[in-house]
Amino acid sequence: YVWGAVAYAVRPMLLAYEHHPQMFSDGDLNIPESGNGTADILDEVKYELDWLLKMQLPDGSVLHQTHVPTFLSDSPPSVDTNRRFYQNPNNESAAIFAGTLALASRIYAAEGMASYAATLESAALGAWNWLSPRGTATLDEAEKKVWAAAEIFRMDPTVTSAKTHVDGYGWSGQFFNVGRFNSFAALTYIVTPGANATVVSQMRADV
């Protein structure tokens, strides 16, 4: 699935590493990638990111999930031949993809993985360009889209459509909730250079 649970898993791991890199090292998880010179937590996240990249279509949209009818499966995965289907792109998958990869691009760039970070950035921008002109049908979609916009703008301050979207969200009186995506957006935007000072003030009041 490319949905909210992806960000709930990846976002805190990336932020934990960004804020406290000294707490994580190469080899501390004893995974196949241990010993490659990269902190194991970043290798773990990269495994998910690499799968996400496979879910993006050429127009920037992102497939929502792969699905097996009646949840058929076999073990080990190497012998599982059950037929799988892709589910069509939607706003949620694009928003979660864009926000997650934009955040990851910043972290991996800071770690010197410039080529991989550029791949993530390009994919995130493609998803945002597909998502940006599309309306949102639910509050949940709107919250995920504004988080994607905030992460895109922090990743690349030249993407004015992302900044405009965050600024126009309507922040005055919003309820701060650490589990909601509009709160994720606020926490990102508050620390982004070039953010609108009035909007940041409203966000801080909400927090």
DSSP string, 130-153: HHTTS--SSHHHHHHHHHHHHHHH
Q: How many CB atoms lie within 10 A of CB 129?
A: 16
Please identify which residue in the block is written with the tokens 């050429």.
Answer: 58
Q: How many CB atoms lie within 10 A of CB 168?
A: 12
Amino acid at site 151: E
Nearest to 82 by CA among 103, 60, 66: 66
Task: Please give the pLDDT value at position 76.
Answer: 94
Quote the tokens at residue 177: 């909730």
Task: With a cut of 70, list the residues of the chain below it in pLDDT.
Answer: none
Which CA distances in Å does 119 have to 103, 114, 115? 13, 9, 6
Q: Please name every residue paired with 85 in a beta bridge, in sequence order, or none if there are none.
A: 67
Can you give the pTM of this predicted structure? 0.95
Please identify which residue in the block is written with the tokens 């241990």.
Answer: 34
Q: 103 with 11: CB under 8 angstroms?
A: yes
Peptide bond into 76 cis (omega under 30): yes
Which CA distances in Å does 75 have to 44, 78, 84? 22, 7, 15
Task: Please give the pLDDT value at position 178.
Answer: 87
How far is residue 87's CA from residue 62's CA, in Å, rounded to a whole number?
10
Task: Please give the pLDDT value at position 207.
Answer: 79
Residues 128-181: pLDDT tens digits? 999 999 999 999 999 999 999 999 999 999 999 999 999 999 998 888 898 999
How far is residue 46's CA from residue 108's CA, in Å, rounded to a whole number?
9
